[in-house]
């Protein structure tokens, strides 16, 4: 995982005379108090962490200082944006012993890139440099320290999360920020709270009740219109990864029970968080979670540890496992939305955003059958989210099940005018209005996505097998390779081609040529200290061979350490 020990080369040194430049309002920061409290959350000497794809993540025992400092940073960001900022304590699908933290920007989005750099500098500053770094950030970002600050905090169910979120609160308070601690929340619920608070309640009420009511009302309205409402459509098995999703789904289920009954598994009452269960396990092992009994053709889904990802699956009559991942979820959602737009008769544009991990069959189906434009961005939802904002309706999903749909103000305006439309169009517009309310537009959300999917399946009268049959995934394999320094690999073209080290891309090109319908790429992970390898081909055997051969090329050309990658999985 992310933690490294050594010298930080990330933060520029500022001038020795910085004290002279400090304006009067900077001195208003109670620097003495910061130093005093910071010592209580001391940084282990030499520990260096990087704000990665999903914030900071490492072993929980190394994170106390990071939490305190992210409390400080959230206050500065709140003052600068004159908005509420969120801080979420979670390590999502990573093991229970890990933890992590990420900041949520005013519209529920991921932290802006320049502030990610500040986060890294602040987290890595040695005690004696803390004041300087804080002042540097305030100066660079022209933070008005007189401004009020408000921070909202949420945490997952990890044993370490409560204490770590208290350290965030310490950081917020020492810089004079106000806060609201929501306690246990899913990550997307915290994003929702931030979005609500910064849009004057227009998006919804910033309470857990407000979240449950908004989504459930939309879901119940939608499913009322479904003509197929047999039991088959009304029950779903949910693997909650022994995480926060179980608590929140249990609280919420009675709000929507007239439209759907959920049966919860891995609800945290006995098993360990993310252990042999959850969306990440199911997607990467391509097998069902432990602790869930699946009868043939039953519709099942898995959340990850902080409930921002979801994948579906079922066993066919022969007992074969079928995974329905984020790509197929995006396909179902975008085809439904496209049909609604056609019915309403509006020429609004719709686009689907994926990453290099999207299965080749999904991209082909979307482009060639559905005639929907598809775009590829770098891994990490912030990239997909950003791209999706360019469309009237932007649907984005990572193959691992993290995603949502975004709707522009143009769409919302058109729907408002729908009262003047003829009957059939009005019905479609009403449906679209409810679907918009059902999506969490601040972030990918397992609970919200689950309800969207369930509503669409019911409205279209689709079984899980019919959904799965939209297209057939190309067999694929993902592997990890250990190297001394994964930064030796740099990529371009939305991570689909390696630029360095020299010779690596040429080697991959030669290997790919040996297989049919094949594709492969490598990239350094943003959340683990590994290089990820992805390969797909016309058969599982070929995909496995190709992935193995590419792993060997990485090992040889990018400074592999430990044992050479072995064939077989």
Ligand X SMILES: CC(=O)N[C@H]1[C@@H](OP(=O)(O)O)O[C@H](CO)[C@@H](O)[C@@H]1O
How many Å from the N-terminal Cα to the C-terminal Cα in the chain? Answer: 22
Is residue 308 marked as binding? yes
304 binds Mg ion (CB under 5 A): yes
Q: Which residue is nearest to Mg ion (CB)?
A: 92
List C-alpha distances in Å: 45 to 8, 42, 125, 126, 160: 11, 9, 10, 7, 21
482 binds ligand X (CB under 6 A): no
Q: Which listed option, ligand X, Mg ion, none, makes contact with residue 65 (CB within 5 to 8 Å by class)?
A: none
Q: Under DSSP, is residue 421 helix (H, G, I), strand (E, B) or coil?
A: coil
Question: Please, which residue, 92 or 379, has the CB nearer to Mg ion?
Answer: 92
Q: How many CB atoms lie within 10 A of CB 556?
A: 14
Piece in contact with Mg ion (CB under 5 A), picked from 146-154, 219-227, 240-248, 306-314: 306-314
Residue 408 contacts residue 388 (beta carbons within 8 Å): no
d(CA 264, CA 246): 7
Question: Please, which residue, 526 or 559, has the CB nearer to ligand X?
Answer: 526
Q: Which listed option, Mg ion, ligand X, none, makes contact with residue 542 (CB within 5 to 8 Å by class)?
A: none
Q: Which residue is nearest to ligand X (CB)?
A: 526
The separation between CA 23 and the C-alpha centre of its own chain, rounded to angstroms, equals 39
219 binds ligand X (CB under 6 A): no
* Minimum separation from the CB atom of position 284 to ligand X (A): 8
Binding residues with Mg ion: total (CB under 5 A) = 4
The set of catalytic residues is 92
54 binds ligand X (CB under 6 A): yes
Q: Which listed option, Mg ion, ligand X, none, makes contact with residue 306 (CB within 5 to 8 Å by class)?
A: Mg ion
359 binds Mg ion (CB under 5 A): no
Residue 447 contacts residue 188 (beta carbons within 8 Å): yes
Binding mask 58-97 for Mg ion (x = CB under 5 A): ----------------------------------x-----
Is residue 327 marked as binding? no
Q: Which listed option, ligand X, Mg ion, none, makes contact with residue 304 (CB within 5 to 8 Å by class)?
A: Mg ion
Question: Please, which residue, 84 or 476, has the CB nearer to ligand X?
Answer: 476
Residue 194 contacts residue 441 (beta carbons within 8 Å): no
Is residue 527 marked as binding? yes
Number of residues that make up the chain: 569
449 binds Mg ion (CB under 5 A): no
Is residue 8 marked as binding? no
Binding mask 515-534 for ligand X (x = CB under 6 A): ----------xxxx---x--
d(CA 120, CA 323): 37
Piece in contact with ligand X (CB under 6 A), picked from 329-337, 373-381, 451-459, 552-560: 373-381
53 binds ligand X (CB under 6 A): yes
Piece in contact with ligand X (CB under 6 A), picked from 36-44, 228-236, 377-385, 449-457: 377-385
List C-alpha distances in Å: 192 to 84, 108, 404, 448: 12, 6, 13, 11
Kindly compute the dihedral angle of the four CA atoms of residues 179, 184, 188, 194, in this order, to the nearest 10 degrees: -10
Q: Under DSSP, is residue 40 helix (H, G, I), strand (E, B) or coil?
A: helix
* Minimum separation from the CB atom of position 398 to ligand X (A): 4
Maximum Cα–Cα distance for the chain, whole Å?
76
Give the phi and the psi of residue 26 in degrees, each rounded to 5: -65, -35
Give the phi and the psi of residue 42 in degrees, each rounded to 5: -65, 145
Please report which helix (H) or strand (E) contains residue 133, including its range.
helix 130-140
* Minimum separation from the CB atom of position 248 to ligand X (A): 19
Is residue 418 marked as binding? no
- The closest alpha carbon to 524, from 347, 350, 348, 380, belongs to 380
Choice from 105, 239, 398, 549 touching ligand X (CB under 6 A): 398
Question: Please, which residue, 229 or 525, has the CB nearer to ligand X?
Answer: 525
* Minimum separation from the CB atom of position 213 to Mg ion (A): 24
- The closest alpha carbon to 495, from 537, 546, 532, 451, belongs to 532
Question: Please, which residue, 306 or 468, has the CB nearer to Mg ion?
Answer: 306
Give the phi and the psi of residue 80 in degrees, each rounded to 5: -70, -40
CA torsion sign for 120, 122, 127, 128 is positive
Please report which helix (H) or strand (E) contains residue 424, including its range.
helix 423-438
Which positions touch ligand X (CB under 6 A)?
A: 53-54, 92, 357, 379-381, 398, 400, 402, 525-528, 532
Binding residues for substrate: 398-400, 523-527, 532
Binding residues for Mg(2+): 92, 304, 306, 308
């Amino acid at each position: 995982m992310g933690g490294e020990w050594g010298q930080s080369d990330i933060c520029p040194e500022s001038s020795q005379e910085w004290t002279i430049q400090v304006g009067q309002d900077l001195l208003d920061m109670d620097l003495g108090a910061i130093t005093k409290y910071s010592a209580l959350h001391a940084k282990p000497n030499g520990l260096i962490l990087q704000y990665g794809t999903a914030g900071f993540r490492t072993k929980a025992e190394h994170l106390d200082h990071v939490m305190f400092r992210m409390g400080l940073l959230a206050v500065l960001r709140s003052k600068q944006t004159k908005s509420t900022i969120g801080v979420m304590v979670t390590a999502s699908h990573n093991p229970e012993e890990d933890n992590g933290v990420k900041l949520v920007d005013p519209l529920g989005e991921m932290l802006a890139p320049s502030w990610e750099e500040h986060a890294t500098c602040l987290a890595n500053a040695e005690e004696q440099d803390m004041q300087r770094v804080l002042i540097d950030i305030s100066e660079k970002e022209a933070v008005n320290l007189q401004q009020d600050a408000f921070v909202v905090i949420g945490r997952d169910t990890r044993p370490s999360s409560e204490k770590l979120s208290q350290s965030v609160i310490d950081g917020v308070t020492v810089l004079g920020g106000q806060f609201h601690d929501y306690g246990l929340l899913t990550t997307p619920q915290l994003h929702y709270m931030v979005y609500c608070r910064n849009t004057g309640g227009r998006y919804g009420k910033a309470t857990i009740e407000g979240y449950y009511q908004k989504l459930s009302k939309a879901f119940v309205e939608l499913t009322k219109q479904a003509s197929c409402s047999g039991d088959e459509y009304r029950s779903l098995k949910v693997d909650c990864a022994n995480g926060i999703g179980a608590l929140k789904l249990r609280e919420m289920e009675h709000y929507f029970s007239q439209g759907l009954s959920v049966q919860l598994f891995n609800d945290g009452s006995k098993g360990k968080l993310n252990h042999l269960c959850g969306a990440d396990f199911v997607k990467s092992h391509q097998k069902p979670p432990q602790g869930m009994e699946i009868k043939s053709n039953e519709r099942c889904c898995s959340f990850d540890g902080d409930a921002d990802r979801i994948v579906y699956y079922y066993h066919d009559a022969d007992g074969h496992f079928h995974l329905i991942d984020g790509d197929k979820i995006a396909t179902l959602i975008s085809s439904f939305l496209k049909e609604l737009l056609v019915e309403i008769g509006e020429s609004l544009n719709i686009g689907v955003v994926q990453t290099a991990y999207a299965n080749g069959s999904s991209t082909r189906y979307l482009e060639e059958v559905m005639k929907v434009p598809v775009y590829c961005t770098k891994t990490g939802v912030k990239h997909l989210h950003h791209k999706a904002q360019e469309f009237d309706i932007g649907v984005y999903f990572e193959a691992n099940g993290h995603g949502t749909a975004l709707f522009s103000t143009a769409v919302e305006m058109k729907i408002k005018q729908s009262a003047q439309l003829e009957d059939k169009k009005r019905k479609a517009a009403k449906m679209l209005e409810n679907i918009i309310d059902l999506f969490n537009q601040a972030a990918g959300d397992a609970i919200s996505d689950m309800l969207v999917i369930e509503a669409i399946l019911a409205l279209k009268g689709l079984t899980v097998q019919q959904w799965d049959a939209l297209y057939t995934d190309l067999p694929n394999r993902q592997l990890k390779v250990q190297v001394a320094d994964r930064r030796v690999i740099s990529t371009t073209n939305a991570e689909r081609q390696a630029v360095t080290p020299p010779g690596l891309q040429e080697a991959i090109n030669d290997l790919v040529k040996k297989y049919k319908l094949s594709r492969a790429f490598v990239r350094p992970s943003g959340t683990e200290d590994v290089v990820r390898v992805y390969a797909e081909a016309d058969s599982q055997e070929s995909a496995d061979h190709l992935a193995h051969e590419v792993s060997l090329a990485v090992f040889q050309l990018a400074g592999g350490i430990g044992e050479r990658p072995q064939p077989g999985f």
